[in-house]
Chains A and B, each alone.
Chain A
Amino acid sequence: MLTEEERKEIEVHIEKMPKRQAACLEAMNVLQKYRGWISDESLRELAEFLDMSPHELDSVATFYNLIFRRPVGRHVILVCDSISCWIMGNEKLEAHLKRKLNIDWGETTADKRFTLLPTVCLGTCDHAPALMVDEDLHRGLEAGQLDDILEQYK
């Protein structure tokens, strides 16, 4: 069941649109905010609420990079792997994070604290290399700064 809160927030998006389906991406964003990811059950609940079939909604969900159809940790690290960050040494950040957290791309630490994902260009290429943790942008990084940054996220 969608909670009262979720329902209200989703309604705001539905009201702006001539069709309920048109709000489905924003709606999944809302669910993710509260639930972390989109489970099969969330998908079914939402599909019903938006007058879509679960399959139709899943076909949309799986198209987008930031709709998570598998559980993620409490914090999601998105490391830019595009060109300017690659030139400026993002592979060092990647190697450090994988070693430190002992996970590969797409995996979550055993304590469910972090999920590690690559992302395309974050639009801050003049401060490369860059990454985001949840909603925070960290840029112009060196691998040595990463441990302190991770400490901010419990």
Chain B
Amino acid sequence: MEKPLTQHINPSRGPLNLKEYEAAGGYQALRKALKKMEPGEVTEEVKQSNLKGRGGAGFGTGMKWSFVPMGEDAPRQKYLIANADEMEPGTFKDRLLLEGNPHQLLEGMILAAYAIQASESFIFLRWAYKSAADILKEAIGEAYQAGYLGRDILGSGFNLEMNIHVSVGRYMCGEETGLLNALEGKRATPRDKPPFPQASGLFGKPTIVNNVETLSNVPHIIGRGADWFKGLSYTDEGGTKIYGASGRVKRPGAWELPLGTTLEEIIEEHAGGMLDGYRFRGALPGGASTDFLTGEHLSLRMDYSSVMDAGSRLGTGTVIILDDKTCPVGFVRNLERFFAQESCGWCTPCREGLPWVARTLQALEEGNGKPEDLEVLSFHTTYLSPGNTYCALAPGAMEPLQSALKYFKEDFEQHIRDGKCSYR
């Protein structure tokens, strides 16, 4: 089983430096692209590979790049941004790539920048990732030294500058247009779309924002080709995925596996199964803003379309597990308090609705719930659904809630009936 993204990563040994990365075949894809490929061919290869964005939404990466204006009439200044904000609760996959193989990300960024002909790039990194910041700064320095960054890269005439922006913390910074505002030194509220960032992004210039894992795949696609990449997955969606598991399992962690690995394999084989004395009750497949899956979904293939068909989203692919001794109401209360706190306050339904949801859940958990509360909760899952709010934060917040109301209804009813939480 091939693991292109992580085969050289060994957390106990530290990150690959430039020499080690080159010895493992690093920067060969960049040499190939700069010597033999037109920018449009790089985009086309990525399109052919079927690589879908690993940041959560799963949008086709090559397709996204193809919306950037190219050619003589295109704006001179364009930007390429790596989204390393990773603040989605339960998600810890980008950290692995940032700390383990920084040059893989840099090479992916340089290739992406070449494809869209961007001359400037940023890594938007969350404050908490201190060691990643040091590792990336070191790697960027090495890449400049070796001529992979800066002016006239490898004698090709292509120029690219790269900077790190260390964010000061807000979940909305990870939302693509909130990120752009944060980078401009503003509040991280989202922007109206259209225009999409591909046409008018950072400082009004064409901009691509991609997730760290998405970009880390690019050198492998360019180096070994779209067909090879497509062959990596179990289903037709292409590539590997860094899956993870947290909660009461024997070996929580993150593993690179073929896209389309089943939920059961992730939990049983890789995470070692549930801790003794705990049973599996449900799971969020890809971070806090995805719908619950339950025991009936264990054989589900964890790719974008299969998880969608099961009523959820693959999201970030890092699974959060609910066991039988953890209260589903408390679980969802924890999530909704997070979303209420992180709402940027820009639009009324989310600003007013999420705190209401969080307070209602808290009352339920503390034994002060009323029968009407279930109506209040389910009303919000409709009221804050896609299309009713300015950005995807609020609809995302409703995904675990609506599915908890469906799968764990008896727990909600028990709290109201008994006036207390039976898990405490």
Contact = CB atoms under 8 A, between A and B. Distances in A.
Interface string B325-366: 010001100110010011010000000000000000000000
Contacts of A128: 246, 252
Contact of B244 (A21, A65, A125): A125
Given A60-B187, A120-B338, A123-B95, A87 B331 contact: yes
B335 A83 contact: yes
Q: Is the interface of A mostly helix, strand, loop or mixed?
A: mixed
B335 A124 contact: no
A29 B187 CA distance: 15
Given A60-B186, A125-B244, A128-B246, A26 B86 contact: no
A17 B185 CA distance: 10
A33 B334 CA distance: 31
A109 interface: no
Q: Give the interface residue-count category, chain B.
A: 35 or more
A29 B89 CA distance: 24
A82 B288 contact: yes
A26 B90 contact: no
A87 B187 CA distance: 32
Residue of B88, B91, B92, B330 with highest tally of chain A CB at under 10 A = B92
Contacts of A18: 203
A88 B323 CA distance: 11
A47 B291 CA distance: 43
Contact of B288 (A22, A60, A83, A126): A83
B68 interface: no
A65 B170 contact: yes
Interface in A1-45: 16-19, 21-26, 28-29
B342 A120 contact: yes
Nearest to A65: B169
Given A123-B86, A128-B252, A66 B183 contact: no
Given A29-B168, A82-B90, A86-B334, A60 B252 contact: no
Given A121-B87, A123-B95, A126-B254, A22 B163 contact: no
Residue of B90, B171, B331 with highest tally of chain A CB at under 10 A = B90
Contact of A126 (B129, B184, B244): B244
Interface in A103-154: 119-128, 132, 135-137
A84 B246 contact: yes
A24 B94 CA distance: 26
Given A16-B163, A121-B89, A123-B126, 13 more contacts: A21-B185, A22-B183, A22-B203, A23-B185, A64-B170, A66-B127, A66-B169, A78-B128, A123-B87, A123-B129, A125-B318, A126-B253, A137-B130
29 contacts: A17-B185, A18-B203, A21-B186, A22-B184, A25-B182, A29-B166, A64-B170, A82-B90, A83-B89, A83-B90, A83-B335, A84-B90, A84-B247, A84-B252, A87-B322, A87-B331, A120-B341, A120-B342, A121-B91, A123-B86, A123-B87, A125-B90, A125-B91, A125-B92, A125-B244, A126-B253, A135-B130, A137-B128, A137-B130
